Structure 1
Amino acid sequence: MKILITGSNGLLGQKLVKLLLEKDIEVIATSRGASRVNYLSKPFEYSELDITDQGQVNEVISKYKPHVVIHTAAMTNVDQCELEQADCRILNVDAVGYLVSACEMHDIHFVHLSTDFVFDGASGPYKEEDQPNPISFYGKSKWDAEQIVKDANCDWSILRTVLVYGVTPGMSRSNIILWVKENLENKNPLKIVDDQWRTPTLAEDLAMGCFLVATKNATGVFNISGEEMLTPFEMAKKTADYFNLDFSLVTKVDASTFSQPAKRPPKTGFILDKAKKVLGYQPHTFEEGISILDDQVQSMRE
């Protein structure tokens, strides 16, 4: 089996390349710029790819003709998407159209990553068939992309996920665990919201969800996330407890404390029954996720 990954330099992309190589799957990793996954010992093909260039998309997919394309590349900074809507639309919507067209041409299974932000957060946790109603431009862009995928004339899967966390060499963005750990170690006081609920997702679990969908040729919409419904404040408490840090530095606040360009849905999170039943998906607990992340940070320092 041959799988092409877009956004292979990102957190999920890197985890996916590693997992697929461990499973002896032929990998074509693609991203903008040079490969950041060259720390892996197993060989794989790498091709630079700008997904906003339709000609380049057609050229790369025609060259490799993979069995599956897993599309992880996207503009995911919610406030940046709100402020730079034209750029967000090109990357999150137009590029999906180019990829879908190329997959239709060669009868390739297209696996698309989406988000809990397609929902308004009024009544989470959500099932796959619940009706989206995005309240941010980022959420709208991902919902528009889902419509393109659902109209595709090839096999397709949509994997919606929630608040992905993890660690990888050369990471460009932090995550809530590392952010809380670093600040509390430095005795910095923190204000953290306790009125937004999510089911945070370990990057390895999301990569496993992608692998299961691709190798089982499972089509349709799947929720792939963690199972525990937590607020950022509760995530911070679990992080502080794990690392034995002083949690008295953390103040509980509500979302109105911060002014952000994009609205956030108050309560999302996912019901995972379908992914468990159809795919055999089984996520780690949040505590297990912290421990896995801690082990990885330690091994990167060695």
Structure 2
Amino acid sequence: MIKQKILGTGLSGLVGSRIVELLSDKFEFENLDRKTGIDITDFETVLDKISDSQASTVFHLAAYTDVKAAEKEKELKENSQSWKINVIGTQNVAKACEKTGKKIIYVSTDLVIGGDNMPEGGFTEDALPNPLSWYAKTKYEAEKVIEKINSPWLIARIAYPYRAFFEKPDFVRFFRDWLKEGKTIFALTDRLITPTFIDDLAFAFEALMEKDVTGIFHVVGSQIISLQDAVTMIAENFNLDKSLVKKTTREEFLVGRPPEPFSSALSNAKIKQLGINMHTLEEGLHILKLNI
């Protein structure tokens, strides 16, 4: 079987590396990052690499994702590293895709929208943008870049991804490790989120490619849950002390933190209509426990 070629940025990261692991039997992946000599902030380098490739699709996952660090450099604006990577880097990849006629699949974040007035079932793809932190603003600016290109594009917003194994902590393992160390965790009762099992992301992306759809899609888990309930569920799943999970208020939580919407739960109804089903956090944690 001849495998479809996929070019990708960020394929060695938390989400990208798992996509490669799960889909490498069907796709031939080539990673564009510093490890392979590609700097996405250098347009000519990006254009040369994308032009030379036989791939018809480019996954763009590379991003500056440290929300706190991004907030500290927001005064630098367009000179900040987060802007250069998230906006300029995306612009370069998008322009190269436009010049070569390749489709770009851009992975964005739930933090570009959200707020206090969340509709029942979560925010849909047509919700008004509400990027509060500098990180969220750079990701939203990148979305606008993608939407303007004259080439097929897909924006996939994801949220709180987690998986079984990786060198850096994700949403679940961060809290699990804290609980293992006996640390108290203060979690909000009114912060609603949609944690997402990364294995589901991989198969959802495969389905979206097969269906050859374009536009914005929320590729997130099927359970809207408060942060406190999510952390408590993590404790219960790994037989850890859930009494370490304490309630906190918005005022206490905001001290020293970048601004962000307190409810950023996304609706995945649009991908469900395409036959793409995502696990709930409870289901994902059960699978995770069996594989750790």
Task: Please show how residues 252-267 of structure 1 align to structure 2 within 5 Å.
Answer: 252-258=247-253, 259-267=255-263
In the TM superposition, residue 238 of structure 1 has moved relative to its aligned partner by 0.8
- How many residue pairs get aligned? The number is 280
In the TM superposition, residue 143 of structure 1 has moved relative to its aligned partner by 1.1
Contact kept, 8 Å, 1:8 with 1:72, in 2: the verdict is: yes
Matched, 1:268 2:264: yes
Identify if the C-alpha distance between structure 1 residues 236 and 20 changes in structure 2 by more than 3 Å, giving closer, same or farther.
same
Deviations 1:147-191 (A, max 9, x none): 11111111000111111122434x23x123223322333322222
Q: 2:160 aligns with which of 163, 167, 183?
A: 163
Matched, 1:64 2:53: yes
1:127 match: secondary structure:
coil
In the TM superposition, residue 81 of structure 1 has moved relative to its aligned partner by 1.4
Matched, 1:2 2:5: yes
1:94 match: secondary structure:
helix
2:266 match: secondary structure:
coil
Query: 1:262, 1:50 → 2: CA distance?
Result: 28
Identify if the C-alpha distance between structure 1 residues 48 and 288 changes in structure 2 by more than 3 Å, giving closer, same or farther.
farther
Contact kept, 8 Å, 1:123 with 1:268, in 2: the verdict is: no
Deviations 1:174-226 (A, max 9, x none): 12322332233332222222221101111112222222222221101111101
In the TM superposition, residue 282 of structure 1 has moved relative to its aligned partner by 0.5
Counterpart for residue 214 of structure 1: 209
Task: Please show how residues 174-189 of structure 1 align to structure 2 within 5 Å.
Answer: 174-189=169-184
Which letter maps to 1:276? Answer: K
1:235 match: secondary structure:
helix
Q: Which runs of 5+ in 2 are unaligned?
A: 75-79
Q: 2:28 aligns with which of 26, 29, 53?
A: 26
Task: Please show how residues 145-294 of structure 1 align to structure 2 within 5 Å.
Answer: 145-169=142-166, 171-172=167-168, 174-258=169-253, 259-278=255-274, 280-294=275-289
1:237 match: secondary structure:
helix
2:106 match: secondary structure:
strand
Query: 2:260, 2:191 → 1: CA distance?
Result: 8
* Coordinate RMSD, CA, aligned: 1.6
Query: 1:215, 1:260 → 2: CA distance?
Result: 44
Identify if the C-alpha distance between structure 1 residues 32 and 138 changes in structure 2 by more than 3 Å, giving closer, same or farther.
same
Q: Which runs of 5+ in 1 are unaligned?
A: 34-46, 298-302
Contact kept, 8 Å, 2:160 with 2:171, in 1: the verdict is: no
1:159 match: secondary structure:
strand
Counterpart for residue 11 of structure 1: 14
Contact kept, 8 Å, 2:185 with 2:245, in 1: the verdict is: yes
Matched, 1:135 2:129: no
In the TM superposition, residue 254 of structure 1 has moved relative to its aligned partner by 2.1
Q: Normalization by structure 2: what TM-score?
A: 0.90
Matched, 1:88 2:90: no
Q: Normalization by structure 1: what TM-score?
A: 0.87
Counterpart for residue 99 of structure 1: 93
Contact kept, 8 Å, 1:20 with 1:27, in 2: the verdict is: no
Which letter maps to 1:30? Answer: L
